[in-house]
């Protein structure tokens, strides 16, 4: 049984994808939402000049952006958007393999879906399915009447 309360459109983060905002970090670095399953969300990120650190490797911060985007989108899809929204509270990332080019794929799965918090694990792998980064994201669930003016 699927954990989602809403549908998501697959594609790039930006004007032609699931989230039409153009001036977001995900849109600027080429993040794409590529797959949604019963209990996971998957997305990709190019490893290129937009996501490199000064030594030509994938920047750890770019991995964190991918993890945060996938976990936050996943958390949001588990909520009724008329009642609450999800915001990042804490992220942890272990960068275990350097990568210089290609595409990385992140797979986000919930470890805990609660009323006030959710915890998501995001595995980021290279094109040979080797682990590049393992991340854990905690999000806060905020009631609309408390979080927006």
Catalytic residues, which ones?
Answer: 68
Please give the full DSSP string across 71-104, using - where no structure is assigned: HHHHHHHTS-TTTEEEEEEEEEEEE-----SEEE
Report the C-alpha gap between 43 and 10 in whole angstroms.
9
How does strand 84-95 pair with strand 32-36? unpaired
- Token pair of 99 as six digits: 């990568």
């Amino acid at each position: 049984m699927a954990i989602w309360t809403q549908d998501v459109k697959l594609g790039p983060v930006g004007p032609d994808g699931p989230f039409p905002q153009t001036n977001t970090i995900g849109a600027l670095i080429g993040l794409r939402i590529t797959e949604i399953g019963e209990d996971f969300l998957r997305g990709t990120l190019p490893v290129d000049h937009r996501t490199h650190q000064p030594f030509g490797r994938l920047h750890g911060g770019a991995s964190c952006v991918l993890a945060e985007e996938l976990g936050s989108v996943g958390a949001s899809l588990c909520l009724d958007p008329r009642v609450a929204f999800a915001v990042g509270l804490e992220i942890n990332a272990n960068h275990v393999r350097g990568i210089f080019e290609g595409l990385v794929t992140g797979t986000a799965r919930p470890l805990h879906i609660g009323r006030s918090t959710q915890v998501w694990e995001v595995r980021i792998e290279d094109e040979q399915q080797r682990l590049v980064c393992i991340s854990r994201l905690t999000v806060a669930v905020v009631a609309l009447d408390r979080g927006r003016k």
